[in-house]
Every structure is written in C-alpha cells, then in structure tokens.
A and B are shown apart, each in its own frame.
Chain A
C-alpha cells in the first residue's frame, strides 16, 4: 500500500473530471479513478453522431474543462485535452469495488485487487454503470449478458431474454429472425412496456416466432457438461423447468441510487430507497469526508455535473464559492422582495412560508431556483377554473381571492393570505383547476412547477402531510358544496382514512357492506355492475368526485363494484361520520339524494347495454388517466390517412399519430397517439425538464430536449418518437395533378434527433389538425368524462 492520497475521485464522467481538473489547477494532490479504458465512458456510449447539448443554457459554466454543445467526439476530445493540460492524475481501467472508512482514513479496493488509501473521497460514478444484474448462482458465466449491441451477430442460437420492460422486449424481437428466443418475465404480463411493443409481441407469439414464459424467474445457471451450453433452471407456476441455451440477455433495469452506493459498501442511514442522498452545501454525505456529485447526487445534466465537480473542490480546499446560480437567484428574489442578499431572501421565504420551514438552505435554494416569483397586479387572474395546473403557488405576501364553483352550481369567494398556498388540487390530481384565483393587493407569489414540487414532497414527508391535510379539507368542501360548515368538515376529516390503489384494484365490491364514502383525490375509477357473473362497466368517475353514496343512503349492501382505472388515491369517510353529517345538513342531503337517483338510473341503463365493455377497453388502454385521447370510429373511417398527413403538415414532417397501429375494440380504434395523461410518465425522467403541460392541458416537449430518449421509454403507450425536424414542402398544383406525394426535407442547419409527440396542435387556431382534416368525421378527440356518452350509456 502506498501513502495516503489527500483526494481520490471515483469515476471520470463530467463530474469527476471537472473535479480532478480543478484539483490539479489549484494544486490539490489527487487521483482520478476510471473503470473504463478511457474517461467519460457514459458519453462515449451515447448513440453515434448524437449532439451533446449544453443545457440549461441560462446556467453559467464554471469548470476548468470547457463545454459547448457539439457532437460527442468534439466534446470528448476537448475534455481529454483540457484534462491533460490541467495536469490531472488519471488512472483508467481502475474499477473501484469498495470504499470504506471515513475522513482521513479511507481505503478503496479496486477490481484488480489493488487498494488505495485516501483522506477524502469524491464519488462521481453516475448512474449508467449500475445496470441491474441477475442475482443468481452462475450469473457470472460467459454468455450471460446485460446488453445487446448488434442482434445480427447471433444466428441459430437459443437465447433467453429476461425482463418485462420495453428494452427486453425489443431485444427479444430483434433476435427472433434466425434464433429461438425465449422471453422470461417475472410478472404475469408485460406490464412495463408500451402498446406498440405489446402489439408486436402478440403478433410474434401468435406466429410462434417467440416463446414467452410469464411469472417465471431464473433460479440458477450452470454449464451443461454434454453440450457446453448454458443450463437455466427456472421457477415458475409450473414445476421446475430446465432450459438449455446459448446465451442469456438480462434487461432488468438500473439500480436505484441507494443500491449503487451499497454495492461499493457505502451505507447512508438517512437515505431511503428511491431517494437521492442527503448532502451538505458542500456535497458532503452523512459520512464525513465522503462527497457525492453528478448524476448520483440527483443532477441529471452534464453542465451541472461539471459545475459540481468544480464547486466541490473549492469547498474542500476551504474557499467555498457561491453556487453558480446565485446571480440568477438574486435577480429573481430582488425584483419581488426587499432584501440585501440571497441568504436574507431565503430566510425571508422560510419565515413567511410555514409549509417550507422544515427544509434546509440547500433544499430551499433548489426550490426557489426552479420556482418563479411573481408580483401580479391587483385584479389579475392567476389561473382560471378548468385550466390545467402545472404548478403550485405559495403566497409570500398580500392576498388572493379564490372563486370556487360547487357541483350544485353555487359559487363562493374565499380569501387566502400570506403563508397559505393554493393550486394543490391540480397538482395532486393532475386535473383541471377547481377554481379561479384573482390577485389581491400587494400580492407576491412563489410559483413552483409540478416537478420541483413532487420532488419536494418525496423528500419531506412532513410537507406531504401538511399539504394532504389542507387538500383533504378543500376537497371535502368542494364536493359537498357551500352547505358544509367548518366544524362539520373538521368532524369528517377526523374520521377519514387515506387509501391508495393500483390500477384494477377494487375499492369495494358489489354485495359488500357499506363502510363509508370514497372521495377520489387522484386517478379515477370505474363503476361496474355484475350481470350473469360478468362485470359490466356502467360509469366512469374522475378525481374530485365521490363514490359509494348509494349504499350509505339506502342502507343496503353495495350495489356495484368500484375499481381503480389507474393508480388512484381516495379518502374514505367513515359511514358513521358521514351519516351524522347528512343528518345535520339538509342541503348536503339533497345533493346526495340527487346523486343517488342518478346512480339508480345509470345502473338500469348500463346493465342493459354492451357498451360498458367499450369503456372498459378504453380505460385499460390508458383512457382512465387520459385527459384527451384521439379515437377513430372505424364505422366511418375510410382509411385515407389524411389525419396522419395533416399532422405531419403542421408538425415538422413527422406525424405524431400512427393510424394503423394501436388497438381496436368493435369499431372503436385507438391509434398510437398521446393521451395527455393526468400524471404523465414521460415527464418523469427528462434531464432538461423539457416536457410540460400547458394551461390548456396539452403535454408538449419544448426545444430544450436533448434527445436522450428517456421519455420514449417511459411512456407506457409508445407514442413518443425520436425524429429529425423536417421541412414539409406543400404540394404544388402540379404535384397534385400528377399525384406526387409531399416530400419532407431535412433542414441542413438542424439535424438533431429530438423527441416528438402530439401537442394537440397547440398554438394553432381551431381544432387539432387530425380532426379538422378528417373528411368523414371519424377522428375525434375525447376526454374520459365523455366515454360514457360515446358508449351510449
């Protein structure tokens, strides 16, 4: 073992190499360890020819290595050059397998058996390396692989593909020509993959091109002595099965951050699975002397990673720099608040907003960085009822007036003052705003985008609780209208329980005893009636409404089954409390009586019809969480594909919908096209946060997309494509006469592949192009509230 190195940096991605370059520049003796043969392994693995984007453009770069948007080759060459020029000490082919100890006394083990002693350690290994591996005996044998580079490399082999997601499915399908492919999924269905892939899977299964084993799991792998091939033992619903194959390809996702760290022997007690580590202002983890930066610290972009590499070294050597975003934050805060420093501004925010006071300065800073501070004029409309909400508002000063409209048609005004918040209902349910908010005098608001807010809720259970409680009160008030006095709301809240359900779970079943009233806060449910042993859907109920009142009114067992149409959260109000409330409150009673009769009518109308199945079909295909869905009535559709052409015409030459793909039920067809989900999965993992929801509800991708493809794989309905924008040259009269098709043309200056999807023709006056250009009226856009109309129930 050699002498202790003052600073060891693990991982030479953007974060790690920026740290090493800075350390070299300021003379901190250090060592940069990289597992791969060259630095920046992740960037080297980007798809060929990909342009690496320097997002967010507004963030200044403060690193000792340069970075501008360019092709990955250029960027990498620049990094290698800058790193060498700075004199950083790099050791490649040095995979760290264990990190132990604490400040002043770390020891790192390398894969080749070497060990290194260090005083301080920076972990910057990113997330791409943590591909989840099979954890069974024999998983280290050659022939077990986690990646498929070129499917054409393999012919006449028996290949087992493991996984239930899109990547495993795509791999399996790519291998089918020429190989015997067996797809092993741990679930009883391919729950994690998109409709398009699912369709292709079904096709392949029907044609016997592929075999699939559901609910199966590999128990062990060994080498068959006779043939020298791999011998797989499977556990499934059937008795133990053995399979001989040439190769196993496992595509079972990446590890959560916690597991990635634990694999290195780093255990952070304060960190729950699925969270990012808690770090100090200087990126120090709970283990003193151990720093975490880059993708592992929850920063998804290269520029941020580079900045963090620089900042952590400055902090380490005792000259902490204000974060790179200080200036931006200052302009933001200064224009709305009377303060003399960013720190003072942050303190002020903490004082004024009790909801946020449990956060530390770093977290608060992050929230403010993502938020906007607005000082609207008195009387200005902040948002309107029925807008789609993409943000959450806290009142920093002054007041706002909220105009609520209740289901009974009455409306009321409520005034909210400093320290209170609004916009949480839309945030939680993903639905339209339930009221109109108008600014009062001296109003100052913090507008936090949905994603930042969700991250915050994830981070702090306390904020989650506070928010939930207020939200529940407001939801109750909005369900039962003006009639409910505060003390009764209080009573109901005290006897309320929160429940959450996965898609398909039953809230209650026909014939159950009535346990209470369910208020749906998020997601939606279907109500179905059992006829001749079969469930027939008779209604669809969206968030913001309640179900289960019928049995409470009649005193009979449940007359219908209610199931979650997608992930759903509901509040159960216990029957006793509910009955007490009704007794004391004639107005609420009459409202519920009205609903009861409507329910009776729906049951008698619905059970006689077959159309419930259509609702069920739509709900199963994402209709339950959709806000707007394109449907084509095949009874009218003349298959002219004008909808696709019209879409391409207004959208850079790439149609966002594929008419022929998708599923059909009876004569109702769902083409492959975005559903504009209430809680869009596609937004989940977009590094530059390029996916947004507009006030009109459409989900769209902005220009800051870096083309990473995360959204494409996250969308469960396979509606996102990666495409180069094209110029869609309109046909001339001559073209039309001689019948020449339109010719899309790639613009020379813009060849970058980006994610594209339906944006509901936002910004275009009039209806969506697909609907407008359908000659027969077969194409239409519906939202789930209209399903029952469409199905005629």
Chain B
C-alpha cells in the first residue's frame, strides 16, 4: 500500500484545482473583449491577473512560514491531571467521543482545524506555483525591460525553476539515499571510519618508516572536513587513500620479513576498508546535498521576490 506522495495528495486534488483555475483564467482572457487587452499590466485583464498573482504569491510564501511554524496548540496538560475522572467524563461527553472515535479515520477530517496537513500545503504549493507562473507570464504580457517589473518576473522564474527541481529531487532522492545507506545509517559509518583510522594509526607505528609514511598519506582523507554542499563537486573522497594504496603496492621490501608481511597485510586491509567507507560516506552526503541544493536558491530568492514584489506593486500604485 503505497500512500500518496505530496504530488499525488488526495487523488491529485491540487492538480485538478490548479487546472480548473488555469482554465478559468484562460477562459476569461478569451471571453473578455479585445479592447481590455489580452494581458499586460495596464489593462483590465492585467489588473485582474496581477491581483490574482499577488494573492497566489502570498499563499505560496505562507507555506514557508507554515512549515517553520506549526500551528499553536493550546496547553493540554490539565487534561492529564485527573485522568481517571477525565476518562469517565470523556466517555459521557458523547460529542467529543464520537469525533475522536475512529481515530485515524475521522480525525483526519478534522485536520483543517489546525491549518491542515503540511503535505496538503506542499501539494498545493507545487501546483499553484505552476499556476502563478502562467498567470504572471500573462500579466507581464511578455514586455520586458531593465526595470523592477521585469526583475520581479525574473526572480519568479528562478523560483519556479528551482521549485520544479526541488519537487523532482524530493521524489527522486529519498529512495536513492536509503538504497545507499546501510541498515545502521550514516552515523555508524563515521564511527566505523574513526575506528579504522585509530587502528591504522596504531598499526602503522610498528611498521618500517617508509611504509608508515605511505600509510600516513591517507590521513589527509577525512570526510569530516567536507562541507556537504561541496560534496557535489568534490573529487574522489578517498583520493589520498588511493595514493597510499598505490604507494604500498609499489614497495616490495616488506615481503622478506614474515612479521612485517603480516603487519602490512593488516594495514592494507584497513586501508581498503577506509577507501570503501569514504566512498560510501561521500555518496551519502552527495545524495543528501543534491536533494537539498535547490533550497539555496529557493529560500533566499523567495525572500528577495517578496521584497521586489512589494516594490513592484507599490510603484504601480504610486504611478497610477
């Protein structure tokens, strides 16, 4: 039973809604006599679409706030104080009772009382974003220049583009990330890596100088120094470990001494393990970064957009 994702929320409720809205707008544009202008800010249609676009922009921006600020819930601890009494009372209070009865069934319908579900908001955010793009394009009438109005539009385009990327990333990467993660999760890998490094240090101390120097090369690889954004562009995370491995392969002096031979075998195995772990850790943070990188654009640009939008609207009002 795969449950709906944010895109298919409630059997595509918001896709349908957006399509209907879009249809209505296009219909209005088509029905309205030509002299009101197909679009463009200065015409009646322009004002209509502008108002609608501003409203949509506000709704979309509100998602960002809703997400970071879940609805306030009243203090409920007094409920627990005398729980036995309350239990009996709840039983008698049939109204409340019936509402909470089929917990998951009925309670879902009551979500709207606390501002709906975030999934619903996200679903609406995605599709209405598309509508906004179309409406704003109509509103612009595709007249561009070096002015604040065009800047508003450009920022919107950036927002929509990064949003589309984001929606796709949110659908695609979670599965890839969980495929990459071993059952115990990334934190464990960090611990494993630390352990491998500790053992490497301990073992290398007993080796001949040139060998322990080779092993030491791998010390420069440590995923802890990478910032995860950087991972997207980073070269191989185990670059220095690779060097250390080749360096050891190219030496042969140790073959003669049996004791040394077994020590090298151990160190070599540890280095291989380190290489593997580094690759996995790097993969994990790379995927993670890819899932989130669009946010770098989307968040700040939306702030800028809101600011510019306010300027755009007020300049219209002033020059009117």
Contacts and interface: CB of A to CB of B under 8 A. Distances in A.
Co-assembled chains A and B = yes
A766 B188 contact: no
Given A203-B188, A776-B119, A646 B70 contact: yes
Contact of B91 (A381, A771, A774): A381
Nearest to A736: B68
Contacts of B11: none
Interface string A754-791: 00000010111111010111111110110000100110
Interface stretch (A205-213, A302-310, A618-626): A205-213
Contact of B68 (A731, A767, A777): A731
Interface residues on B, range: 35 or more
A695 B91 contact: yes
B250 to A, nearest CB: 30
Interface in B58-96: 64-65, 67-70, 72-73, 76-77, 79-81, 83-84, 87-88, 90-92, 94
A179 interface: no
A772 B109 CA distance: 12
Interface string A368-393: 00001010000011111010001000
Contacts of B9: 777
A150 interface: no
Interface stretch (B46-54, B97-105, B147-155): B97-105
A636 interface: yes
B107 A789 contact: no
B210 to A, nearest CB: 28
A789 B1 CA distance: 6
Nearest to B187: A660
A649 interface: yes
B185 A660 contact: yes
Nearest to A650: B73
A769 B195 contact: no
A733 B65 contact: yes
B35 to A, nearest CB: 43
B255 interface: no
A381 B73 CA distance: 30
Contacts of A206: 184, 188, 192
A765 B74 CA distance: 11
A736 B118 contact: no
A663 B184 CA distance: 7
Given A209-B195, A634-B174, A776-B6, A645 B65 contact: no
A530 interface: no
Most chain A beta-carbon contacts within 10 A, residue among B64, B77, B303: B77
Most chain B beta-carbon contacts within 10 A, residue among A202, A382, A692, A763: A763
Interface string B202-244: 0000000000000000000000000000000000000000000
Contacts of A733: 65
Nearest to A780: B3
B192 A207 contact: yes
A464 interface: no
Nearest to A779: B119
A73 interface: no
A649 B73 CA distance: 8
Nearest to B186: A660
B178 A769 contact: no
A79 to B, nearest CB: 28
B209 to A, nearest CB: 27
Interface string A627-652: 00000011111110010011001101
A16 B303 CA distance: 69
A663 B183 contact: yes
A381 B89 CA distance: 12
B81 A702 contact: yes
A635 B174 contact: yes
Interface in A722-755: 730-731, 733, 736-737
Contacts of A228: none
B79 A762 contact: yes
A92 interface: no
Contacts of B108: 766-767
A14 interface: no
Contacts of A386: 101-102
Contact of B67 (A384, A634, A642): A642
9 contacts: A207-B195, A386-B102, A636-B5, A642-B67, A694-B90, A765-B99, A767-B108, A774-B119, A776-B6
Given A202-B184, A775-B118, 16 more contacts: A203-B191, A206-B188, A447-B88, A635-B174, A642-B67, A649-B70, A660-B185, A692-B83, A695-B87, A702-B81, A703-B80, A763-B79, A767-B108, A767-B117, A775-B121, A792-B1
